[in-house]
Amino acid sequence: MRASPDSTGTGQNPRRQAGLPRRTLSWTAELGFAAGAAVLSLAGAAIVMRLWRADLHTPFDYQGEVNYNLMLVKGLLDHGGYQENPSLGFPFGQDLYDLGLGTDRVNFVLMRLFGLVTSDPVLVTNLFFLLTFPLAAVAAVFVLRRLGVGPAPALVAAVLFSLLPYHFSRNSHLFLAAYYAVPLAAYIVFGVFGEVRLFARRVNSRRGIPAWITWQSVATVLICVVLGSTGVYYAAFTLVLVSGATLLVFARLRDRRQLLVGAALVGLVGATVVVNLAPTLKYQLNHGVNRAVLRTPQETEEFSLKLSELVLPTDGHRIASVAAWKDRYVQTSLLPSERGQAIGLVATVGFVWLWVVALLAIVGRRTERSLLLYASAAVIVSFLVATTGGLSTILAYVITPQLHAWNRISVFIAFFSLVAVAVLLDRLHGFLRERGLGAAFGAVLAVILLAGALDQTTNRAIPAYAAVSREYHQDDEFSAAISARLDGGDSVFQLPYVPFPEAEPPRPMQDYDPLRPYLHQNELRWSYGATKGRSENWAGDLSAKPLSLVVPAVAAVGFAGIYLDGAGYPDGGRVARSELARITGSQPLSDERGRFAFIDLRAYRDRLEQAGAARVAALRAAAIHPLHIEVGPGFYPQEQDGAHSWHWAAANGELRLINPSGGARTAVLEARLAREPDAAPVIVSLPGGKQKRLQAVPGGSPVRLALTLAPGTNTVHFSTAAPAVLSANVSRALYFRLVDIVLVESVLRESSRGSAHR
């Protein structure tokens, strides 16, 4: 049965103004326009990226978050999921529950479908990225047509929407590039305002839920599920806009049913997000919140939306003088924010017009159709929430800072602005047709589409195909050489240590570079990839120690080799290679560039095992369940100068030494005890009650404390009766400082003295 046109509680404003006529076409014609938008979008992307130069089995880029994306796709194809990966984070495996990846479930499903025909993660990633262009265009055409926009203007606006600067700048943020959900979110927002019917009740049907099972209601529910499954940012932006629209409609109509509709929509999207995040929530309930991956409120302003970034030309504009002007702005701006916010000249026209519409409405000159008024309201809400110092900043400090990059709402603003452009083009069509110039409209649209696409895209979107291919295949050859030396299932320890995720490794090494060898083979397991802040991330503690301690420990853990990236060392890794060769007796295998090296540990490991199973087990436990230090009350946060690190202390300070195992372990705490400009005695109270009298002197006196640490927390207390030293920081009373604190378990130190190499 058809839904009653006078159904109540549908989310449609019963006093909705008449807008543009619903120019319905046959399904064949509608599909034709959608297909046309998809083809033009994909063709535009292909031309901009010079896709004919590409080898789709080679990544478009090979650095930073692109490698992180490839890791996710490879894990999905190899192991059937994206939350756990046994090939990384050896020996415990990689868990990604802290990262909240579940909200991208629809995107992972699409990738899994590609995986049915190919097991190449690079090909799947490239195909998915290219698919996001026609998906965005088709979704935009669908929504624009439902809003009553003519087919040709809808097609032009949809193609321009799919070719936003945002799209190309998000190549490294693969899931943000999949913004096909944005038009669907706008559809829901316009539905709250009453422009489209979201829920409908069957005529003469009984009361209850079955009465509301209509195609409109089912479609709305499905859209909400998609919105809650295509990224947490797009879901959050949808919730903000739906909430804002609901409050505005209620303020105007005073109809409580509108509040119910808005609450239902927020509940549907929010519930979907919660269901998708259920594995993360369960994991954190069992293991606690990982503070090492939390955002800070300050990041919200650093990555906020900026009006100037929205309306200024895109970076690297095709007109050289414009590009230079924009580059100068970016280089001199005190807060440049995240790149890719520009919406392009055509959308900027719509953006400005929507503000004009709002101002005219404020002064009582409401001459626009309701669609533009509602688009204007959505843009204003988006801007007020996401702009620097806006509501998002308050949310970050009061509720959560986890959604730190609110500038990404720019893609929503772009769509609402293009809605305005499409309406203006419809008006232009009517104007020309009344004067017998309707045939010229096609030429006008073609010029706008071509000019808009050229304005929004730049040569910076062209991947460096040759350079990437050369580097990618060199890595492939070196990884193959390593695999040929080892057996399937062997594990490799990676140096230097780089935290995961989101780290700043030593330059010129880049974040996620340690994933490169993993991406080229399926047989080996790697140490990199354990989430920072979790106990499985033991490699960071061990890697901070001298190589003479590291090598026996990783051999005891079971690693068959060490993979060294010279880009992470000031000298290109020359000293580290020489030291590893001396300790292990194995000559490094190097790649043709001299950047990477592999050191075979198997012979060394065999010699180590001659020391006995108990010693190897103790070494393994010391490595993967390390003792660690927590700075307690009385010590100030760490300071450093590049060569040394230290903690200033008050008159009394505590160090907490954590033993995570079930038995007592012996260790040595080493540091230097310093105080400037004069010396002073410091009393050290050890676990068990013993005390030592030490001297804090300028430059530092050596501290070496042999300790037996019980399971759990052991406290070492430092105190002095000397007066505070003079300090420019009057908010802190400084008495002494501990410099270069190191806690080394005895079994590790003993193993370094007697090398297994003969």
Digit-coded pLDDT (tens) for 305-319: 999 999 999 998 999
Residue 3 maps to a domain: no
Radius of gyration of the chain (CA): 31
Digit-coded pLDDT (tens) for 319-354: 999 989 888 988 888 887 888 899 999 999 999 999
350 and 486 fall within a common domain: no
Residues paired with residue 493 on neighbouring β-strands, in sequence order:
562
Is residue 4 scored above 70 in pLDDT?
no
CATH of the domain at 689: 2.60.120
445 and 431 fall within a common domain: yes
- Strands, E, within 396-540: which ranges? 491-495, 525-526
What pLDDT score was predicted for residue 464? 95
172 and 191 fall within a common domain: yes
Answer positive or negative: Cα dihedral of 467, 471, 474, 476: negative
DSSP for 224-290, written as a single string: HHHHTTS-HHHHHHHHHHHHHHHHHHHHHH--HHHHHHHHHHHHHHHHHHHHHTHHHHHHHHHH---
For the chain, the average pLDDT equals 90
Residue 78 maps to a domain: no
Is residue 1 scored above 60 in pLDDT?
no
Is residue 13 scored above 90 in pLDDT?
no
Is residue 14 scored above 50 in pLDDT?
no
| Residue after which a domain boundary falls, among 588, 605, 624 | 624
Residue 65 maps to a domain: no
438 and 474 fall within a common domain: no
433 and 480 fall within a common domain: no
What pLDDT score was predicted for residue 5? 37
pTM of the model: 0.89
277 and 352 fall within a common domain: yes
Residue 41 maps to a domain: yes
Mean pLDDT within 361-389: 87
What pLDDT score was predicted for residue 208? 65
Is residue 221 scored above 80 in pLDDT?
yes
202 and 258 fall within a common domain: yes
Is residue 662 scored above 80 in pLDDT?
yes
| Residue after which a domain boundary falls, among 433, 460, 487 | 460
Residue 95 maps to a domain: no
Which residue range(s) make up the domain with 632?
Answer: 628-753
Give the model's confidence band at 434: pLDDT under 50 very low, under 70 low, under 90 confident, else very high. Answer: confident
Is residue 7 scored above 60 in pLDDT?
no
Rounded CA-CA distance 366/22 in Å is: 22
Residue 61 maps to a domain: no
613 and 650 fall within a common domain: no
| Residue carrying the six token digits 């101002």 | 359
Is residue 10 scored above 60 in pLDDT?
no
620 and 632 fall within a common domain: no
478 and 503 fall within a common domain: yes
Determine which of 1-5, 325-329, 378-382, 672-676 has the lowest per-residue pLDDT on average. 1-5
436 and 293 fall within a common domain: yes
What pLDDT score was predicted for residue 444? 94
| Residue after which a domain boundary falls, among 600, 624, 648 | 624
What pLDDT score was predicted for residue 256? 82
| 200, 4 Cβ separation under 8 angstroms | yes
Task: Report the candidate in 539, 540, 570 with the shortest Cα–Cα distance to residue 642.
Answer: 570
Is residue 206 scored above 70 in pLDDT?
no
What pLDDT score was predicted for residue 334? 81
Please tell me the total count of domains within the chain.
Answer: 3
601 and 523 fall within a common domain: yes
| 56, 155 Cβ separation under 8 angstroms | no
Give the model's confidence band at 15: pLDDT under 50 very low, under 70 low, under 90 confident, else very high. Answer: very low
Rounded CA-CA distance 68/514 in Å is: 10
Residue 81 maps to a domain: no
Residue 124 maps to a domain: no
Digit-coded pLDDT (tens) for 716-729: 999 999 999 866 56
The DSSP H or E segment spanning 649 is strand 645-649
